[in-house]
């Protein structure tokens, strides 16, 4: 395929409607005659439900009904973690035991959202409290209360790749660290919502989702409704970050109540509900040992990981598998011994969050590499360079079984050092240290490799040219801010030589899209884009056959001209426009044998292996050694996602990811008290970075194409988060390392720095 479709910095075609208020976000839609649902949530983290008194709420004017588990009798949501015991399935509404604060126990349906909310406050939930375990340490303690007594343990999954020999035996030096990769909240701009509308014998469900077909399948099973009677629609959506892959109980309840009541029912999550009820991310404890020779060459890594699953076994219970898979990062480490366990606690369930196990691996490894550099008195950049997998070793299969497709890790490191002015930064740092300045400079590096499209590597797309010359491209991915409409239109525009404004991209509607894998795991361009490219090429070939038949020309002589017409090479007068060919294609009399009417194509593509983007990030911070105040003064990244289709889209993904990485490193942490009550249920207690706390980022790229797909692309949606988080963490620690600080867990707040400095 011609390489010219790639690289043009085309502005996003979605943005005009967003910035002019014409986006179709679900909360802004109206549904005639819709009822509103409000959720009654558990006020305690662990306990047995004694009674739910709904009488007062049910008698309020405007209330249509109050429903508990016994009223609806819905089956539980199956565990989302492979290998999890079915006993850990999550109920749609808790009926006997509640396991975290905020767990739904009842719902109120009313004529208005205000009445529904007021009535929900009148539902009295009588819970007999049980001892709660807010942390994995508490859950693993002798005699700890069990969330699922049938299991006899709070450990719900185990895994890893142990070794039959000591992987550190040949090491001259071993560094050891105990790291906390803290729990964070996704905080999408748009919280969860849903609307369910009965239409004849069918049900339309409007929902924020990263995959309409996952929602359709789960709704079908839970409601006992055939899939062809369910239409699931995802309109414009304000962020997902992995947390909107799976259906939530509230969304299923909305659909169940619409069926029961025969009226549209809608639900809108508040920000507090979002922070308490939407799945969280990360929350992994890491004990790691890294062994190396005196020259800095790493010989082995041993890690013991404990993953908090939260109250139920969502996919978060399995995240440590990806930490294990990516444990060697971009380095040539032959000895790997990584084992893990997932533990349930009385907290909000954990699920995938931008990176899903890979940021945890990078954070663990990059902290260990900095500890090694300090132990050997080597420059952190040099330690990394000495251990990179060389370019001539690709494709390279790691000891954990990851098959890295292509890479040139040193090129990304060298580029970021040059862009950031690394030598001068180190010189300035030395001057400040020598003077004993109050404000010290810290420089942090993070080299990473991650896996994208890790599973389900197939995607569907179709393309149709209409008689007016417009083109409709339909694809099974689902955009929630990434710029899919631009990317997919750009591909079709180049292959059909049609202006982008004549192309409509359809996604996120189970009635209009035949099938699809949705958007997660940074899969969209390499799979969805490749599928769009394939069907676009098939449309071109079909048009060439039609023109060859009509012009009585050899197929090889028929070409697509640069002006978007198709005709006989060297005879432009024979050319037909796309609209003309589409009109002719509607009549079978105009078609050669074996060609179906219509200028359409549909196809499912398969990608054999995952792809592995990589890069290096460099962060610069200033730390006030008296107050502990941290100021991020610069961040430079060089990321490699293979061939770049659109630099605007790629850089946008990196910017967003870096911002979230900075958030985890410096600000964000979901916290609970000793009784597992949430302490961060609003945006005054759960802090996120803002424009005023972030500098301008310097973003650049190297280009190492993948050989796994015809576009040569790799995923980029999660790269910024994976690379940035440990770079910022390393930078802050580097700023105070000369004062005796060896490690600081995230978020590295001023208080945490101040306490560390005063303890020395």
Q: Give the separation between CA 9 and CA 207, rounded to whole angstroms.
A: 32
Could you tell me what percentage of the chain is helix, strand and coil, using 3-state DSSP and rounding each to the nearest 5? 35, 25, 40
* 612 φ, ψ (degrees, to nearest 5): -135, 90
* 350 φ, ψ (degrees, to nearest 5): -95, 140
Q: Give per-residue pLDDT as tens, 124-167.
A: 999 999 999 999 999 999 999 999 999 999 999 999 998 889 99
Please tell me whether residues 571 and 548 are part of one structural domain: yes
- 215 backbone φψ class: left, alpha, beta (φ>0; ψ -120 to 50): alpha
Please tell me the pTM assigned to this model. 0.96
User: Within a domain: residue 183?
Assistant: no
- Residue 5's pLDDT is what? 55
Q: Which of 574, 606, 638 is the last residue of a domain?
A: 606
Instruction: Give the DSSP letter string of 299-355.
Output: EEEEEEEEEEEETS-SGGGGHHHHHHHTTTTTB---EEEEEEEEEE-SSPPB---TT
Reading the block at residue 558, the tokens are: 């028929």
Please tell me whether residues 633 and 749 are part of one structural domain: yes
| Average predicted confidence (pLDDT) for the chain | 96
Q: Which domain holds residue 754?
A: 388-396+407-451+614-760
Ranges of H-type helices in 26-76 = 55-58, 69-72
DSSP summary character for residue 77: B
Q: Which helix (H) or strand (E) holds 209?
A: none
Please tell me whether residues 467 and 416 are part of one structural domain: no
Number of structural domains (the chain) is: 3
Cβ contacts of residue 437 below 8 Å, gap of 6+? none
Please tell me whether residues 80 and 124 are part of one structural domain: yes
- Residue 6's pLDDT is what? 60
Q: Give per-residue pLDDT as tens, 405-421.
A: 999 999 999 999 999 99
Q: Give per-residue pLDDT as tens, 222-231.
A: 999 999 999 9
User: Within a domain: residue 136?
Assistant: no
Longest dimension (CA), the chain: 88
Please tell me whether residues 444 and 466 are part of one structural domain: no
Is the pLDDT at 3 greater than 70? The verdict is no
User: Within a domain: residue 637?
Assistant: yes
- Residue 1's pLDDT is what? 41
Reading the block at residue 491, the tokens are: 């591909």
Q: Give the separation between CA 369 and CA 367, rounded to whole angstroms.
A: 5
- Residue 2's pLDDT is what? 44
Instruction: Give the DSSP letter string of 132-159.
Output: ---SHHHHHSTTPPPSSGGGSSSEEEEE
Is the pLDDT at 4 greater than 80? The verdict is no
Q: Give per-residue pLDDT as tens, 294-333.
A: 999 999 999 999 999 999 999 999 999 999 999 999 999 9
Could you tell me what percent of the chain has a pLDDT over 90? 98
Please tell me whether residues 446 and 478 are part of one structural domain: no
Q: Which helix (H) or strand (E) holds 268?
A: strand 265-268
- 542 backbone φψ class: left, alpha, beta (φ>0; ψ -120 to 50): alpha
Please tell me whether residues 38 and 15 are part of one structural domain: no
Q: Give per-residue pLDDT as tens, 522-556.
A: 999 999 999 999 999 999 999 999 999 999 999 99
Is the pLDDT at 460 greater than 90? The verdict is yes
Q: Is the dihedral of CA 215, 219, 225, 230 positive or negative?
A: negative
4-8, 488-492, 562-566 — which is least confidently predicted?
A: 4-8
Please tell me whether residues 252 and 120 are part of one structural domain: yes
CATH at residue 120: 3.90.1170.50
User: SS3 of 398, please?
Assistant: coil
Q: Give per-residue pLDDT as tens, 37-74.
A: 999 999 999 999 999 999 999 999 999 999 999 999 99
User: Within a domain: residue 342?
Assistant: no
Residue in 318, 333, 555, 491 with CA at minimum distance from that of residue 483: 491
Please tell me whether residues 738 and 646 are part of one structural domain: yes
User: Within a domain: residue 425?
Assistant: yes
- Residue 9's pLDDT is what? 84
Q: Which of 277, 296, 323 is the last residue of a domain?
A: 277
User: Mean pLDDT, to the nearest integer, of 253-281?
Assistant: 98
Is the pLDDT at 7 greater than 80? The verdict is no
User: Within a domain: residue 290?
Assistant: no
CATH at residue 527: 3.30.365.10
Q: Give per-residue pLDDT as tens, 422-454.
A: 999 999 999 999 999 999 999 999 999 999 999
Is the pLDDT at 467 greater than 90? The verdict is yes
Please tell me whether residues 602 and 635 are part of one structural domain: no
Reading the block at residue 93, the tokens are: 């509404």
Please tell me whether residues 566 and 653 are part of one structural domain: no
User: Within a domain: residue 182?
Assistant: no
User: Within a domain: residue 316?
Assistant: no
2-11, 271-280, 495-504, 639-648 — which is least confidently predicted?
A: 2-11
Q: Which of 606, 639, 656 is the last residue of a domain?
A: 606
Reading the block at residue 455, the tokens are: 């599973």
User: SS3 of 649, please?
Assistant: helix
């Amino acid at each position: 395929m011609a390489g010219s479709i790639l690289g043009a910095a085309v502005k996003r075609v979605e943005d005009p409607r967003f910035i002019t208020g014409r986006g179709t976000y679900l909360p802004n839609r109206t549904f005639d005659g819709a009822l509103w649902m409000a959720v009654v949530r558990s006020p305690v983290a662990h306990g047995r439900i004694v009674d739910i008194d709904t009488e007062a709420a049910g008698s309020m004017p405007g209330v249509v009904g109050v429903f508990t588990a016994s009223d609806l009798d819905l089956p539980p949501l199956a565990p989302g973690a492979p290998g999890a015991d079915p006993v850990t399935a999550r109920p749609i509404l808790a009926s006997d035991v509640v396991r975290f604060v905020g767990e739904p126990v009842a719902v109120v349906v009313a004529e208005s959202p205000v009445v529904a909310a007021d009535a929900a406050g009148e539902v009295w939930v009588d819970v007999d409290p049980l001892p709660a375990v807010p942390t994995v340490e508490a859950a693993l303690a002798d005699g700890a209360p069990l969330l699922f007594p049938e299991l006899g343990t709070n450990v719900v999954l185990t895994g890893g790749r142990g070794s039959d020999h000591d992987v550190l035996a040949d090491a001259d030096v071993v560094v050891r660290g105990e790291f906390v990769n803290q729990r964070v909240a996704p905080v999408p701009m748009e919280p969860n919502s849903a609307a369910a509308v009965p239409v004849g014998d069918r049900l339309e469900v409007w929902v924020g989702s990263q995959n309409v077909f996952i929602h359709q399948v789960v709704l079908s099973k839970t409601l006992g409704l055939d899939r062809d009677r369910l239409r699931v629609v995802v309109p414009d959506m304000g962020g997902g970050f992995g947390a909107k892959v799976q259906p939530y109980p509230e969304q299923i309840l909305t659909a169940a109540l619409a069926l029961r009541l025969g009226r549209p029912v809608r639900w809108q999550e508040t920000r507090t509900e979002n922070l308490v009820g939407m799945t969280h991310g990360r929350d992994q404890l890491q004990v790691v040992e890294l062994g190396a020779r005196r020259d800095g060459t790493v010989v082995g890594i041993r890690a013991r990981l404990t993953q908090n699953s939260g109250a139920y076994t969502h996919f978060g219970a399995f995240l440590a598998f990806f930490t294990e898979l990516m444990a060697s990062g971009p380095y040539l480490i032959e000895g790997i011994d990584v084992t893990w366990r997932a533990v349930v606690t009385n907290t909000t369930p954990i699920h995938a969050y931008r990176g899903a196990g890979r940021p945890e691996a990078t954070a663990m490894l990059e902290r260990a590499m900095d500890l090694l550099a300090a132990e050997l008195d080597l420059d952190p950049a040099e330690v990394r360079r000495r251990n990179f997998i060389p370019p001539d070793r690709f494709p390279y299969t790691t000891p954990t079984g990851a098959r890295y497709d292509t890479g040139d890790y040193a090129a990304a490191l060298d580029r970021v050092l040059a862009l950031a002015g690394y030598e001068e930064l180190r010189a300035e740092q030395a001057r400040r240290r020598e003077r004993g300045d109050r404000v010290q400079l810290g420089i942090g590096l993070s080299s990473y490799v991650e896996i994208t499209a890790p599973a389900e590597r197939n995607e569907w797309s179709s393309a149709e040219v209409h008689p007016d010359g417009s083109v409709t491209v339909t694809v099974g991915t689902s955009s929630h801010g990434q710029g899919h409409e631009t990317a997919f239109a750009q591909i079709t525009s180049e292959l059909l030589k049609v202006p982008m404004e004549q192309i409509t991209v359809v996604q996120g509607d189970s009635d209009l899209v035949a099938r699809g894998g949705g958007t997660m795991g940074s899969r969209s361009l390499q799979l969805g884009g490749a599928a769009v490219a394939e069907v676009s090429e098939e449309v071109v070939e079909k048009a060439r056959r039609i023109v060859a038949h009509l012009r009585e020309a050899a197929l090889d002589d028929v070409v697509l001209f640069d002006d978007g017409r198709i005709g006989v090479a060297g005879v432009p007068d024979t050319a037909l426009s796309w609209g003309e060919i589409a009109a002719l294609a509607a009549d079978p009399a105009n078609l050669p044998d074996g060609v179906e009417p219509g200028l359409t194509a549909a196809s499912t593509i398969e990608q054999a292996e995952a792809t592995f983007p990589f890069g290096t990030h460099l962060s610069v911070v200033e730390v006030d050694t008296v107050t502990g105040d941290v100021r991020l003064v610069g961040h430079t990244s060089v990321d490699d996602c293979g061939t770049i289709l659109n630099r605007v889209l790629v850089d946008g993904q990196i910017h967003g990811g870096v911002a979230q990485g900075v958030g985890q490193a410096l600000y964000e942490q979901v916290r609970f008290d000793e009784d597992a009550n949430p302490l961060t249920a609003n945006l005054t207690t759960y802090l996120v970075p803002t424009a005023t706390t972030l500098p301008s980022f310097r973003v650049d790229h190297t280009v190492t194409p993948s050989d796994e797909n015809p576009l040569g692309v790799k995923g980029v949606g999660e790269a910024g988060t994976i690379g940035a988080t440990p770079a910022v963490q390393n930078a802050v620690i580097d700023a105070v390392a000369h004062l005796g600080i060896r490690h600081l867990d995230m978020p590295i707040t001023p208080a945490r720095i101040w306490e560390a400095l005063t303890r020395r």
